[in-house]
Structure 1
Amino acid sequence: MHKRILLIQGHPDAAQGHLCHALAAAYRAGAAKAGHDVRQTQVAALDFPILRSQDEWERGPLPPGLQQAQEDIRWAQHMVFFFPLWLGDMPALLKGFLEQVARPGFAFPDDRMHPLAKKGLSGRSARVVVTMGMPALLYRWYFRAHSIKSLKRNILGFVGVAPVRATLIGMVGDPERQAVDKWVGALEAMGRSAA
Protein backbone atom coordinates (compact mmCIF):
# COMPACT_ATOMS: atom_id res chain seq x y z
CA MET A 1 0.00 0.00 0.00
CA HIS A 2 1.26 3.45 -0.99
CA LYS A 3 2.08 5.71 2.02
CA ARG A 4 3.11 9.29 2.73
CA ILE A 5 6.26 9.04 4.85
CA LEU A 6 8.06 11.78 6.76
CA LEU A 7 11.66 11.17 7.83
CA ILE A 8 12.69 13.31 10.81
CA GLN A 9 16.47 13.44 11.09
CA GLY A 10 17.11 14.28 14.72
CA HIS A 11 20.92 14.16 14.73
CA PRO A 12 21.94 17.61 16.01
CA ASP A 13 25.02 17.74 13.76
CA ALA A 14 23.97 18.80 10.25
CA ALA A 15 27.06 17.18 8.71
CA GLN A 16 26.00 14.17 6.64
CA GLY A 17 28.77 11.81 7.79
CA HIS A 18 26.90 10.16 10.66
CA LEU A 19 25.35 6.71 10.73
CA CYS A 20 21.91 8.28 11.38
CA HIS A 21 22.17 10.02 8.01
CA ALA A 22 23.18 6.82 6.20
CA LEU A 23 20.27 4.96 7.81
CA ALA A 24 17.80 7.68 6.79
CA ALA A 25 19.16 7.67 3.23
CA ALA A 26 18.73 3.89 3.06
CA TYR A 27 15.16 4.09 4.35
CA ARG A 28 14.38 6.83 1.84
CA ALA A 29 15.86 4.84 -1.05
CA GLY A 30 13.83 1.77 -0.14
CA ALA A 31 10.63 3.80 0.22
CA ALA A 32 11.20 5.52 -3.14
CA LYS A 33 11.78 2.17 -4.87
CA ALA A 34 8.44 0.94 -3.51
CA GLY A 35 6.60 4.05 -4.75
CA HIS A 36 5.97 5.73 -1.41
CA ASP A 37 5.95 9.54 -1.18
CA VAL A 38 8.77 10.70 1.09
CA ARG A 39 9.57 14.03 2.68
CA GLN A 40 12.42 14.75 5.08
CA THR A 41 12.96 17.21 7.91
CA GLN A 42 16.53 17.92 9.08
CA VAL A 43 16.09 19.26 12.62
CA ALA A 44 19.69 20.54 12.76
CA ALA A 45 19.02 22.79 9.74
CA LEU A 46 15.97 24.49 11.29
CA ASP A 47 16.04 27.80 13.13
CA PHE A 48 13.90 27.87 16.26
CA PRO A 49 14.24 28.92 19.90
CA ILE A 50 13.83 26.70 22.94
CA LEU A 51 10.51 27.19 24.72
CA ARG A 52 10.87 28.69 28.17
CA SER A 53 7.32 28.91 29.55
CA GLN A 54 3.96 27.20 29.37
CA ASP A 55 2.38 30.45 28.21
CA GLU A 56 4.82 30.66 25.29
CA TRP A 57 3.97 27.05 24.34
CA GLU A 58 0.20 27.54 24.61
CA ARG A 59 -0.18 31.05 23.18
CA GLY A 60 3.06 31.97 21.46
CA PRO A 61 3.36 31.86 17.68
CA LEU A 62 4.97 28.90 15.97
CA PRO A 63 8.41 30.03 14.74
CA PRO A 64 8.35 30.60 10.96
CA GLY A 65 11.18 28.09 10.52
CA LEU A 66 8.91 25.29 11.78
CA GLN A 67 5.81 25.94 9.70
CA GLN A 68 6.91 23.58 6.90
CA ALA A 69 7.87 20.90 9.43
CA GLN A 70 4.43 21.11 11.02
CA GLU A 71 2.78 20.91 7.58
CA ASP A 72 4.90 17.85 6.74
CA ILE A 73 3.75 16.17 9.97
CA ARG A 74 0.13 16.95 9.06
CA TRP A 75 0.73 15.46 5.57
CA ALA A 76 2.42 12.26 6.79
CA GLN A 77 0.76 8.91 7.41
CA HIS A 78 3.96 7.39 8.82
CA MET A 79 6.90 9.14 10.52
CA VAL A 80 10.41 7.79 11.05
CA PHE A 81 12.64 9.46 13.65
CA PHE A 82 16.43 9.01 13.51
CA PHE A 83 18.67 10.08 16.38
CA PRO A 84 21.70 9.07 18.47
CA LEU A 85 21.24 8.29 22.16
CA TRP A 86 22.89 11.09 24.11
CA LEU A 87 23.12 10.89 27.90
CA GLY A 88 20.48 8.16 27.80
CA ASP A 89 17.92 10.17 25.82
CA MET A 90 17.22 11.95 22.55
CA PRO A 91 19.41 15.01 21.86
CA ALA A 92 18.07 18.26 23.34
CA LEU A 93 17.62 19.80 19.88
CA LEU A 94 15.17 17.06 18.87
CA LYS A 95 13.27 17.40 22.14
CA GLY A 96 13.07 21.17 21.60
CA PHE A 97 11.75 20.58 18.07
CA LEU A 98 9.02 18.24 19.36
CA GLU A 99 8.03 20.73 22.07
CA GLN A 100 7.68 23.45 19.46
CA VAL A 101 5.68 21.53 16.84
CA ALA A 102 3.40 19.61 19.25
CA ARG A 103 1.31 22.61 20.26
CA PRO A 104 -2.32 22.94 21.31
CA GLY A 105 -4.56 23.31 18.29
CA PHE A 106 -2.24 21.15 16.17
CA ALA A 107 -1.10 18.04 18.02
CA PHE A 108 -4.20 17.98 20.20
CA PRO A 109 -7.26 20.20 20.63
CA ASP A 110 -7.08 23.33 22.72
CA ASP A 111 -9.51 21.53 25.05
CA ARG A 112 -6.87 18.92 25.92
CA MET A 113 -8.10 18.54 29.48
CA HIS A 114 -11.25 16.84 28.27
CA PRO A 115 -10.65 13.07 28.62
CA LEU A 116 -12.43 12.22 25.35
CA ALA A 117 -10.77 14.95 23.28
CA LYS A 118 -9.54 13.72 19.89
CA LYS A 119 -5.79 13.59 19.61
CA GLY A 120 -4.58 15.79 16.77
CA LEU A 121 -2.19 13.30 15.14
CA SER A 122 -4.34 10.17 15.33
CA GLY A 123 -4.15 7.85 12.34
CA ARG A 124 -0.37 8.12 11.99
CA SER A 125 2.19 5.47 12.81
CA ALA A 126 5.89 5.88 13.59
CA ARG A 127 9.22 4.15 13.82
CA VAL A 128 12.04 5.37 16.05
CA VAL A 129 15.58 4.48 14.91
CA VAL A 130 18.15 5.05 17.64
CA THR A 131 21.92 4.56 17.48
CA MET A 132 24.00 4.14 20.63
CA GLY A 133 27.48 3.27 21.82
CA MET A 134 26.36 0.56 24.25
CA PRO A 135 24.91 -2.80 23.25
CA ALA A 136 21.27 -2.36 22.29
CA LEU A 137 20.26 -5.34 24.44
CA LEU A 138 21.85 -3.72 27.48
CA TYR A 139 19.89 -0.54 26.86
CA ARG A 140 16.67 -2.43 26.20
CA TRP A 141 16.83 -4.82 29.17
CA TYR A 142 19.02 -3.26 31.87
CA PHE A 143 18.07 0.39 31.29
CA ARG A 144 14.56 -0.63 30.17
CA ALA A 145 14.85 1.68 27.12
CA HIS A 146 13.37 4.40 29.35
CA SER A 147 13.76 7.30 26.93
CA ILE A 148 12.22 5.36 24.04
CA LYS A 149 9.27 4.39 26.22
CA SER A 150 8.88 8.02 27.24
CA LEU A 151 8.93 9.18 23.61
CA LYS A 152 6.37 6.54 22.64
CA ARG A 153 4.01 7.15 25.57
CA ASN A 154 4.48 10.75 26.68
CA ILE A 155 5.00 12.46 23.33
CA LEU A 156 3.86 10.39 20.36
CA GLY A 157 1.14 8.48 22.19
CA PHE A 158 -0.11 11.66 23.85
CA VAL A 159 -0.86 13.19 20.44
CA GLY A 160 -2.33 9.99 18.96
CA VAL A 161 0.55 8.46 17.00
CA ALA A 162 0.27 4.66 17.13
CA PRO A 163 1.64 2.13 16.71
CA VAL A 164 5.21 3.25 17.40
CA ARG A 165 7.95 0.71 16.75
CA ALA A 166 11.59 1.03 17.75
CA THR A 167 14.80 -0.07 16.07
CA LEU A 168 17.80 0.13 18.43
CA ILE A 169 21.28 -0.09 16.92
CA GLY A 170 24.08 -0.54 19.45
CA MET A 171 27.87 -0.50 19.47
CA VAL A 172 28.13 2.19 16.81
CA GLY A 173 31.23 3.87 18.26
CA ASP A 174 33.49 1.53 16.30
CA PRO A 175 31.20 -0.29 13.88
CA GLU A 176 32.59 -2.98 11.62
CA ARG A 177 31.80 -2.38 7.95
CA GLN A 178 29.77 -5.59 7.76
CA ALA A 179 27.51 -4.47 10.64
CA VAL A 180 26.92 -1.07 9.00
CA ASP A 181 26.01 -2.75 5.70
CA LYS A 182 23.59 -5.04 7.56
CA TRP A 183 21.78 -2.12 9.20
CA VAL A 184 21.70 -0.07 6.00
CA GLY A 185 20.15 -3.06 4.23
CA ALA A 186 17.63 -3.54 7.04
CA LEU A 187 16.56 0.12 6.90
CA GLU A 188 16.18 -0.01 3.14
CA ALA A 189 13.87 -3.03 3.54
CA MET A 190 11.85 -1.15 6.20
CA GLY A 191 11.53 1.75 3.75
CA ARG A 192 10.19 -0.52 1.02
CA SER A 193 7.50 -1.85 3.37
CA ALA A 194 6.91 1.56 5.03
CA ALA A 195 7.42 -0.08 8.40
Structure 2
Amino acid sequence: MTRILVIDAHPDSDPARFCHALADAYAESAAGAGHAVERLALSAIDVPVLSSQTDWEEGEASAAIRDAQAMIVRAEHVVILFPLWLGDVPALLKAFLEQVFRPGFAFPTGPRRPNAGLLKGKSARIVVTMGMPALFYRWVYRAHSLKSLRSNILRFVGIGPIRETLIGNVEGSAGNRTEALASMRRLGADAA
Protein backbone atom coordinates (compact mmCIF):
# COMPACT_ATOMS: atom_id res chain seq x y z
CA MET A 1 0.00 0.00 0.00
CA THR A 2 1.25 3.45 -0.93
CA ARG A 3 0.06 6.69 0.68
CA ILE A 4 -0.86 9.01 -2.20
CA LEU A 5 -1.78 12.69 -2.30
CA VAL A 6 -3.63 13.78 -5.45
CA ILE A 7 -3.43 17.56 -5.94
CA ASP A 8 -6.00 18.78 -8.46
CA ALA A 9 -4.49 22.15 -9.36
CA HIS A 10 -7.07 23.33 -11.89
CA PRO A 11 -8.12 26.78 -10.65
CA ASP A 12 -11.68 26.40 -11.98
CA SER A 13 -13.95 24.31 -9.76
CA ASP A 14 -16.37 23.63 -12.65
CA PRO A 15 -16.79 19.83 -12.67
CA ALA A 16 -16.67 19.86 -16.49
CA ARG A 17 -12.91 20.58 -16.43
CA PHE A 18 -11.00 17.55 -17.68
CA CYS A 19 -8.32 17.79 -14.97
CA HIS A 20 -11.02 16.96 -12.40
CA ALA A 21 -12.01 13.81 -14.30
CA LEU A 22 -8.37 12.77 -14.55
CA ALA A 23 -7.85 13.33 -10.81
CA ASP A 24 -11.00 11.30 -10.08
CA ALA A 25 -9.86 8.45 -12.34
CA TYR A 26 -6.41 8.30 -10.71
CA ALA A 27 -7.70 8.57 -7.12
CA GLU A 28 -10.56 6.09 -7.53
CA SER A 29 -8.32 3.51 -9.20
CA ALA A 30 -5.60 3.93 -6.58
CA ALA A 31 -8.09 3.53 -3.73
CA GLY A 32 -9.63 0.52 -5.49
CA ALA A 33 -6.18 -1.09 -5.64
CA GLY A 34 -5.77 -0.67 -1.86
CA HIS A 35 -3.67 2.47 -1.72
CA ALA A 36 -4.44 5.19 0.86
CA VAL A 37 -5.50 8.30 -1.06
CA GLU A 38 -5.93 11.88 0.07
CA ARG A 39 -7.18 14.58 -2.28
CA LEU A 40 -6.62 18.31 -2.40
CA ALA A 41 -8.45 20.59 -4.83
CA LEU A 42 -6.68 23.93 -5.00
CA SER A 43 -9.85 25.60 -6.30
CA ALA A 44 -11.43 24.89 -2.89
CA ILE A 45 -8.83 26.60 -0.70
CA ASP A 46 -7.67 30.16 -0.26
CA VAL A 47 -4.08 30.54 -1.44
CA PRO A 48 -2.76 34.05 -0.86
CA VAL A 49 0.01 35.32 -3.10
CA LEU A 50 3.29 36.02 -1.34
CA SER A 51 4.50 39.56 -1.91
CA SER A 52 7.88 39.62 -0.19
CA GLN A 53 10.79 37.43 0.81
CA THR A 54 10.02 38.23 4.44
CA ASP A 55 6.47 36.86 4.04
CA TRP A 56 7.90 33.65 2.58
CA GLU A 57 10.68 33.14 5.12
CA GLU A 58 9.06 34.47 8.28
CA GLY A 59 5.34 34.76 7.57
CA GLU A 60 2.76 32.50 9.12
CA ALA A 61 1.22 29.91 6.79
CA SER A 62 -2.58 29.82 6.82
CA ALA A 63 -4.48 26.88 8.28
CA ALA A 64 -5.26 25.59 4.77
CA ILE A 65 -1.57 25.68 3.84
CA ARG A 66 -0.58 23.94 7.09
CA ASP A 67 -3.19 21.25 6.33
CA ALA A 68 -1.71 20.84 2.83
CA GLN A 69 1.78 20.54 4.34
CA ALA A 70 0.52 17.80 6.67
CA MET A 71 -0.95 15.95 3.67
CA ILE A 72 2.40 16.20 1.87
CA VAL A 73 4.22 14.87 4.93
CA ARG A 74 1.87 11.85 5.11
CA ALA A 75 2.20 11.08 1.38
CA GLU A 76 4.78 8.79 -0.14
CA HIS A 77 3.69 9.71 -3.68
CA VAL A 78 2.35 13.11 -4.80
CA VAL A 79 0.35 13.52 -8.02
CA ILE A 80 -0.07 17.06 -9.34
CA LEU A 81 -2.56 17.62 -12.18
CA PHE A 82 -2.92 20.99 -13.92
CA PRO A 83 -3.79 22.60 -17.24
CA LEU A 84 -1.09 24.39 -19.19
CA TRP A 85 -2.02 28.08 -19.16
CA LEU A 86 -0.02 30.55 -21.24
CA GLY A 87 2.71 27.93 -21.49
CA ASP A 88 3.08 27.54 -17.73
CA VAL A 89 1.45 26.35 -14.52
CA PRO A 90 -1.64 28.32 -13.50
CA ALA A 91 -0.88 31.16 -11.08
CA LEU A 92 -2.87 29.41 -8.34
CA LEU A 93 -0.53 26.40 -8.45
CA LYS A 94 2.57 28.60 -8.38
CA ALA A 95 1.19 30.54 -5.40
CA PHE A 96 0.35 27.25 -3.66
CA LEU A 97 3.86 25.87 -4.17
CA GLU A 98 5.40 29.10 -2.83
CA GLN A 99 3.17 28.94 0.24
CA VAL A 100 3.67 25.23 0.93
CA PHE A 101 7.39 24.82 0.21
CA ARG A 102 8.61 27.32 2.77
CA PRO A 103 12.02 27.30 4.47
CA GLY A 104 11.92 25.03 7.49
CA PHE A 105 9.29 22.79 5.91
CA ALA A 106 10.65 21.92 2.46
CA PHE A 107 14.32 22.74 2.95
CA PRO A 108 16.49 23.91 5.84
CA THR A 109 16.58 27.54 6.82
CA GLY A 110 19.80 29.44 6.28
CA PRO A 111 22.07 29.31 3.24
CA ARG A 112 20.62 27.28 0.33
CA ARG A 113 22.48 24.04 -0.31
CA PRO A 114 21.95 21.61 -3.18
CA ASN A 115 20.34 18.30 -2.27
CA ALA A 116 19.22 19.64 1.11
CA GLY A 117 15.49 19.17 0.53
CA LEU A 118 13.54 17.95 3.54
CA LEU A 119 10.98 15.99 1.50
CA LYS A 120 13.28 13.14 0.46
CA GLY A 121 11.72 9.72 0.10
CA LYS A 122 8.66 10.96 -1.78
CA SER A 123 8.01 10.39 -5.46
CA ALA A 124 5.82 12.45 -7.77
CA ARG A 125 3.88 12.36 -11.00
CA ILE A 126 3.09 15.56 -12.85
CA VAL A 127 0.08 15.43 -15.18
CA VAL A 128 -0.28 18.35 -17.60
CA THR A 129 -3.24 18.87 -19.91
CA MET A 130 -3.07 21.17 -22.93
CA GLY A 131 -4.89 22.10 -26.09
CA MET A 132 -1.88 21.58 -28.35
CA PRO A 133 -0.37 18.20 -29.18
CA ALA A 134 1.85 17.01 -26.32
CA LEU A 135 4.77 16.32 -28.66
CA PHE A 136 4.59 19.89 -29.93
CA TYR A 137 4.84 21.18 -26.35
CA ARG A 138 7.72 18.84 -25.58
CA TRP A 139 9.78 19.39 -28.75
CA VAL A 140 8.97 22.92 -29.93
CA TYR A 141 8.49 24.61 -26.56
CA ARG A 142 10.92 22.22 -24.85
CA ALA A 143 8.41 21.63 -22.00
CA HIS A 144 10.04 24.53 -20.16
CA SER A 145 7.39 24.90 -17.44
CA LEU A 146 7.43 21.17 -16.77
CA LYS A 147 11.22 21.23 -16.47
CA SER A 148 11.03 24.17 -14.10
CA LEU A 149 8.47 22.48 -11.85
CA ARG A 150 10.42 19.22 -11.88
CA SER A 151 13.93 20.62 -11.33
CA ASN A 152 13.57 24.01 -9.68
CA ILE A 153 10.80 23.11 -7.27
CA LEU A 154 10.17 19.41 -6.68
CA ARG A 155 13.77 18.17 -6.87
CA PHE A 156 14.94 21.20 -4.90
CA VAL A 157 12.74 20.16 -1.97
CA GLY A 158 13.95 16.56 -2.21
CA ILE A 159 11.11 14.88 -4.11
CA GLY A 160 12.18 12.20 -6.57
CA PRO A 161 11.85 10.30 -8.74
CA ILE A 162 9.50 12.52 -10.70
CA ARG A 163 7.55 11.17 -13.64
CA GLU A 164 5.33 13.04 -16.04
CA THR A 165 2.27 12.53 -18.20
CA LEU A 166 1.48 15.05 -20.92
CA ILE A 167 -2.06 14.97 -22.27
CA GLY A 168 -2.44 16.99 -25.44
CA ASN A 169 -5.43 17.88 -27.60
CA VAL A 170 -7.83 17.78 -24.63
CA GLU A 171 -10.38 19.69 -26.67
CA GLY A 172 -10.06 17.06 -29.42
CA SER A 173 -11.72 13.71 -29.82
CA ALA A 174 -13.67 11.80 -27.20
CA GLY A 175 -11.35 8.88 -27.92
CA ASN A 176 -8.36 10.91 -26.81
CA ARG A 177 -10.07 11.71 -23.51
CA THR A 178 -11.10 8.09 -23.02
CA GLU A 179 -7.52 6.97 -23.57
CA ALA A 180 -6.21 9.58 -21.10
CA LEU A 181 -8.70 8.48 -18.43
CA ALA A 182 -7.69 4.83 -18.94
CA SER A 183 -4.04 5.83 -18.55
CA MET A 184 -4.82 7.60 -15.26
CA ARG A 185 -6.65 4.52 -13.99
CA ARG A 186 -3.62 2.31 -14.78
CA LEU A 187 -1.24 4.75 -13.11
CA GLY A 188 -3.49 5.03 -10.07
CA ALA A 189 -3.73 1.27 -9.62
CA ASP A 190 0.06 1.04 -9.81
CA ALA A 191 0.61 4.11 -7.58
CA ALA A 192 2.85 5.40 -10.34
Deviation per CA, 1:30-87, whole angstroms, max 9, x where unpaired?
A: 1011100000111111113100000110000001221211100111000000000000
Partner of 2:110: 111
Structure 1 segments of 4+ aligned residues over 4 angstroms from their partners: none
| Identical columns (%) | 52
In structure 2, runs of 5+ residues without a counterpart are none
Aligned ranges 1:26-105 → 2 under 5 Å: 26-105=25-104
Aligned with residue 188 of structure 2, among 180, 185, 191: 191
Distance 1:153 1:29 in 2: 29
* TM-score of the superposed pair, with normalisation by structure 1: 0.95
How far 1:115 sits from its partner (Å)? 4.9
SS of the residue corresponding to residue 152 of structure 1 reads helix
TM-score between the two structures when normalised by the length of structure 2:
0.97
Question: Within the alignment, does 1:136 sit opposite 2:158 as a pair?
Answer: no
In structure 1, stretches of 5+ residues that fail to align are none
Alignment of 1:12 with 2:11, yes or no, is: yes
Contact 2:114–2:156 under 8 Å retained in 1 = no
Distance 1:114 1:23, change over 3 A: closer
1:186 partner letter: S
- Over the aligned positions, Cα root-mean-square deviation in angstroms equals 1.1
2:170 touches 2:176 (CA, 8 Å); kept in 1? no
Give me the whole-angstrom Cα distance separating, in 2, the residues matched to 1:184 and 1:157. 27
Distance in 2, matches of 1:176 and 1:48, equals 34
Distance 1:139 1:71, change over 3 A: same
Q: Distance in 1 between matches of 2:88 and 2:67?
A: 26
AA in 1 matched with 2:169:
M
